[in-house]
């Protein structure tokens, strides 16, 4: 899975970095994603950061395997 931060919405509060420092870091007054792909061991914390974000600036894209239907 991959995480994204909408920097237009981000308030830079640092909640995501506190919850999931493996994936997020605050740089100046906005958060950014530190990694291309979220490590499996950080996935739960990444989802928690998404839920806790006060401005809903975080989104997560789950990747599917080739040939496997999405639904």
Residues 31, 20: Cα–Cα separation, whole Å? 12
Q: Please report, for the chain, the start and end positions of each structural domain, with discontinuous segments joined by +.
A: 2-61
Confidence class for position 66, pLDDT limits 50, 70, 90: low
Tens-place pLDDT, residues 23-36: 999 999 999 999 99
Residues 66, 59: Cα–Cα separation, whole Å? 22
pLDDT at 70 over 60: no
Average confidence (pLDDT) over 38-42: 97
Fold type of domain 2-61: Alpha-Beta Plaits (3.30.70)
Confidence class for position 40, pLDDT limits 50, 70, 90: very high
DSSP string, 1-60: -EEEE-TTT-----HHHHH-TTTEEEETTEEEE--SS--GGGHHHHHHHHHH-TT--EEE
pTM here is: 0.84
Residues 20, 68: Cα–Cα separation, whole Å? 29
Tokens 């995501």 found at:
16
- The pLDDT value given to residue 62: 84
């Amino acid at each position: 899975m991959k995480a994204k931060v909408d920097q237009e919405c981000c308030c830079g509060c640092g909640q995501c970095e506190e919850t999931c420092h493996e994936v997020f870091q605050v740089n100046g007054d906005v958060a950014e994603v530190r990694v291309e792909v979220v490590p499996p061991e950080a996935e739960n914390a990444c989802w928690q950061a998404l839920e806790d974000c006060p401005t809903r600036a975080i989104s997560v894209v789950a990747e599917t395997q080739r040939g496997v239907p999405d639904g």
